Amino acid sequence: MSTIKDIARHAGVSVATVSYVLNNTRYVSPDKRERVIAAVQELNYVPNAAARGLRVRESRTIGLIVSDISNPFYPDLAKACEDVAQQYGYAVHMINTNDQPERMRQAVSQAREGKIDGLIVTTALEADRELLQSLLDREFPVVLAHRRLEGLDADLIESDNYEGGMLAARHMLALGHRRIAFLSGVAGSPISERRVAGYLQAMREAGIDVLAEWVLPGEAKYANSYERMVQYADMAPDTRPTAIINVSDIGAMGVLDAAADRGLRVPEDVAVMGFDDLFLAAFRSVRLTTVRIPRYELGRQATELLLKRIGKAKTERRHVVLPVDLVVRKTCGSEQADG
Amino acid sequence: MSTIKDIARHAGVSVATVSYVLNNTRYVSPDKRERVIAAVQELNYVPNAAARGLRVRESRTIGLIVSDISNPFYPDLAKACEDVAQQYGYAVHMINTNDQPERMRQAVSQAREGKIDGLIVTTALEADRELLQSLLDREFPVVLAHRRLEGLDADLIESDNYEGGMLAARHMLALGHRRIAFLSGVAGSPISERRVAGYLQAMREAGIDVLAEWVLPGEAKYANSYERMVQYADMAPDTRPTAIINVSDIGAMGVLDAAADRGLRVPEDVAVMGFDDLFLAAFRSVRLTTVRIPRYELGRQATELLLKRIGKAKTERRHVVLPVDLVVRKTCGSEQADG
DNA sequence: GTGAAAGCGCTAACAC
DNA sequence: GTGTTAGCGCTTTCAC
**pLDDT value at residue B316:** 85
Q: How many angstroms from the chain centroid is the CA of residue B283?
A: 23
| CATH class of residue range A4-54 | mainly alpha
- Could you please report the per-residue DSSP string of B160-211? -HHHHHHHHHHHHHHTT--SEEEE--STT-HHHHHHHHHHHHHHHHTT-PPP
Minimum Cα–Cα distance from B66: chain A residue: A79
State the span(s) of chain B assigned CATH 3.40.50.2300. 58-158+295-323, 161-294+326-332
> For chain A, what is the mean pLDDT?
95
CA of B57 to C1' of D7 (A): 13
Instruction: Give the residue ranges of chain B where pLDDT is below 50.
Output: 336-339
pLDDT at A337 over 50: no
**pLDDT value at residue B313:** 62
Q: What is the pTM of this model?
A: 0.95
* Residues of chain A positioned with their CB less than 8 A from the CB of B83: 96
A59 vs B53: CB contact, 8 Å cut-off? no
A49 CB within 8 Å of a chain B CB: yes
The stretch A93-120 carries a mean pLDDT of: 95
pLDDT at A314 over 90: no
pLDDT digits (tens, 9 = 90+) for A201-231: 999 999 999 999 999 999 999 999 999 999 9
Edge-to-edge strands of the sheet including A155-159?
A: A319-322, A155-159, A142-145, A118-121, A61-66, A91-96, B91-96, B61-66, B118-121, B142-145, B155-159, B319-322
Q: Which residues contact B145 (CB under 8 A, 6 or more apart)?
A: B77, B120, B121, B122, B156, B157, B158, B298, B299, B302
Q: What percent of chain A has pLDDT over 70?
A: 98
Task: Indicate the helix (H) or strand (E) that contains B212.
Answer: none
Q: What percent of chain A has pLDDT over 90?
A: 94
pLDDT digits (tens, 9 = 90+) for A157-185: 999 999 999 999 999 999 999 999 999 99
B48 vs A59: CB contact, 8 Å cut-off? no
**pLDDT value at residue B339:** 35
CB B93 within 8 A of CB A91: yes
Taking domain B58-158+295-323, whether its CATH number is 3.40.309.10 is answered by no
Size of interface A-B (CB pairs under 8 A): 145
Topology of B161-294+326-332 in CATH? Rossmann fold (3.40.50)
Q: Please, what is the end-to-end C-alpha distance for chain B in angstroms?
A: 61
Nucleotide nearest to A50 (CA to C1'): D9
Rounded distance between C-alpha atoms, residue B64 and residue B57, angstroms: 20
